[in-house]
Amino acid sequence: MAAGVAGVGLGLSWPSKLARSPNSILPPSSPSSRSFRRRVVKMAVSVDERKKNFTLQKSEEAFNAAKELMPGGVNSPVRAFKSVGGQPIVFDSVKGSHMWDIDGNEYIDYVGSWGPAIIGHADDEVLAALAEAMKKGTSFGAPCLLENVLAEMVISAVPSIEMVRFVNSGTEACMGVLRLARAFTGREKIIKFEGCYHGHADPFLVKAGSGVATLGLPDSPGEIAAVILEPVVGNSGFIPPKPGFLEDLRRITKENDTLLIFDEVMTGFRLSYGGAQEYFGITPDLTTLGKIIGGGLPVGAYGGRRDIMEMVAPAGPMYQAGTLSGNPLAMTAGIHTLKRLKQPGNYQYLDKITSELVQGIIDAAKRAGHAICGGSIYGMFGFFFTEGPVYEFADAKKSDTAKFAKFFRGMLEEGVYFAPSQFEAGFTSLAHTSEDIQQTIEAAEKVLQQL
C-alpha cells in the first residue's frame, strides 16, 4: 500500500489471522435474537421461489424519481451500484440480520449499515432505550449526562484514549484529529496510505504516491506531524496488516516524534471490544471512532493521550465544534450497543460465524473453478476474485471486478445482500444465525457454479 510521503507495505497473506473459538454456533442469548431466530427459520424457505418472484420494479421507479431530486439519486455514491451495475435497491425496513426492500424482497444482510449494526438491526433493547430518551427531547445543544456515560465506556475500552471528543461522523472525527495533530506538533505534513479511507475531506482524498515500499521517513525528516491509517483496511476490501508491520510503524513514528493515528471508525469495537489496537497490541497516540459507538445513529469521535487532547477547545487553542455533537439519541444508542457487546462470548461467536461464512464461500468458489482469496477477523471479512495474496491496494485491484458484479447480482436474487463493491469489507452481527450462514453458503454455491 503506497503512502503519500513514503510508501509502506500493508497486508497479510491469505487466509488472514483468525481468532478461533470452540464456542457453539448459537448466538449469545437475548430476547430479540431468540424471537428473530425462529422467524428467520420460518421465512428461509424455497430460494427458487424467491428468485422466480424477484423484482425491483418499485425500487426502479423510486430511484428514477430520486435522480431528479438528489445527485445520482443517492446521498452516498456506493449506494448507486455503479461498481456492480444493475438497479439500485430502495430499502423499506431492517430487523436483526435481515433487510426488506420496497418490492417486498427479503435479504440476509452482510453490510450492516456499513458497520454500525454489530448487534443486529433495530435491536429491541436499543429501540426501547431510544423511545424513552426521545421523551426528553432529541437534541439539547448543551451538555447531557449521557455524554459522560459513553465517554467513560470508550475511555475504559480503547487503550489509547484518555480523553475523547464526540462529533457527528467519521469524516468529522478524521478532520478534527488531523487539525489536532498539526496543532500539537507544529508540523504540517501527514502521511496517509493509498487504499485507506478517512472520509471525504479534501486532505484525505489526495491519491498517495507509489514506489518502493519502505518503513522509513527519509523524504521529510522532522516535518511529519502524523501517520494515519486504518489498522485493518476496510475501504479497499478486507486487508489486515502483515505481522510486524504495525509494530515497526509504531517504533518508527516514535523515533521521529511523529504521532501515530489509527482510524478505527470501522474497526473500533468490531475486532475486539478495545478495537484493532487491543487486538494487535499496538497503542497509537490518537484514534478516530464512529459507526458502532452510535448504535446506528450518526456519530463520530476522536481521542487519545491527555496531553494531546488538552489542545482541543475550550481546554486549548485547537478549535472544533458541532451543533449536534454528543446528542442524547446517539449517546443512548451507543451506550446500549456497547453494553450488549461487552457480554461474554460475543466476539467468539462473531469469529465462529464469520470464519465459517468466508471459508464456505472460498470453498464453493474453488469447487466452481474460480480464483479467490479472503479472510476475516471476528465480525469483519472480505474476499477477492484473484489468486492473491492481497497485501495492499495494488494487489486488490487485480481482482476480477466483472466477476464480482455478476456474483453480487446473483446473490441478490438468492436473497443475500453483500456490499455493492469488490472493494468494501463485509460485516456480520450477533443477530446472524447458523441458518443465515448456511443459507448464504448454499446460495453462493449455486451462483458461483453459474458464473
Query: Who wins on pLDDT, 284 or 221?
Result: 284
What whole-number distance in Å separates Cα of residue 12 and Cα of residue 232?
10
Where does the pLDDT of residue 41 fall: very low under 50, low under 70, confident under 90, or very high at 90 and above? very low
**What's the grid cell of residue 104?**
417486498
Please confirm, yes or no, whether 391 is among the known catalytic residues.
no
Among 131-135, 261-265, 389-393, 428-432, the minimum mean pLDDT is found in 389-393
**What's the grid cell of residue 445?**
454455491
Where does the pLDDT of residue 370 fall: very low under 50, low under 70, confident under 90, or very high at 90 and above? very high
**What integer best gives the mean pLDDT of the chain?**
88
Please confirm, yes or no, whether 319 is among the known catalytic residues.
no
The string over 145-169, giving b where at least 16 C-beta atoms fall within 10 Å of a residue's C-beta and e elsewhere, is: ebbeebbebbeebbebbebbbbbbb
In this model, does residue 39 exceed pLDDT 70? no
Query: Who wins on pLDDT, 400 or 9?
Result: 400
In this model, does residue 3 exceed pLDDT 60? no
Query: DSSP label at 17?
Result: P
In this model, does residue 339 exceed pLDDT 50? yes
Which parts of 260-345 fold into alpha helices (H)? 275-280, 306-309, 328-341
Q: Is the dihedral of CA 152, 153, 158, 164 positive or negative?
A: negative
What whole-number distance in Å separates Cα of residue 295 and Cα of residue 124?
12
Average pLDDT over residues 398-402: 96
Q: Is the dihedral of CA 354, 432, 153, 174 positive or negative?
A: positive
Please report the pLDDT score of residue 102 as a whole number: 98
Among 127-136, 143-152, 192-201, 261-270, the minimum mean pLDDT is found in 192-201
Where does the pLDDT of residue 23 fall: very low under 50, low under 70, confident under 90, or very high at 90 and above? very low
Please report the pLDDT score of residue 201 as a whole number: 78
Determine whether 96 is exposed, middle or buried from the number of CB atoms within 10 Å of its CB (0-12, 13-18, 19+): buried
Q: Of all residues in the chain, what percent carry a pLDDT higher than 90?
A: 80
Encode pLDDT of 413-425 as tens digits: 999 999 999 999 9
Strand partners, 406: none
DSSP code string of 146-203? HHHHHHHHHHHH-TT-SEEEEESSHHHHHHHHHHHHHHHHS--EEE-BTT----SSGG
Please confirm, yes or no, whether 263 is among the known catalytic residues.
yes
Where does the pLDDT of residue 221 fall: very low under 50, low under 70, confident under 90, or very high at 90 and above? low
Query: Who wins on pLDDT, 240 or 53?
Result: 240
**CB atoms near residue 281 (< 10 Å):** 11
pTM, entire model:
0.87
Q: Would you say 109 and 99 are in contact if contact means Cβ atoms under 8 Å apart?
A: yes
Residue of 107, 110, 197, 378 marked active site: 197
Query: DSSP label at 237?
Result: B
Residue of 110, 192, 279, 291 marked active site: 291
Amino acid letter for position 347:
Y
Domains contained in the chain, CATH given: 48-110+345-449 (3.90.1150.10), 125-342 (3.40.640.10)
Please report the pLDDT score of residue 283 as a whole number: 99
Where does the pLDDT of residue 44 fall: very low under 50, low under 70, confident under 90, or very high at 90 and above? very low
Please report the pLDDT score of residue 50 as a whole number: 63
Residue of 123, 263, 285, 436 marked active site: 263
Encode pLDDT of 304-319 as tens digits: 999 999 999 999 999 9
Average pLDDT over residues 429-449: 99
Determine whether 20 is exposed, middle or buried from the number of CB atoms within 10 Å of its CB (0-12, 13-18, 19+): exposed
Encode pLDDT of 244-278 as tens digits: 999 999 999 999 999 999 999 999 999 999 999 99
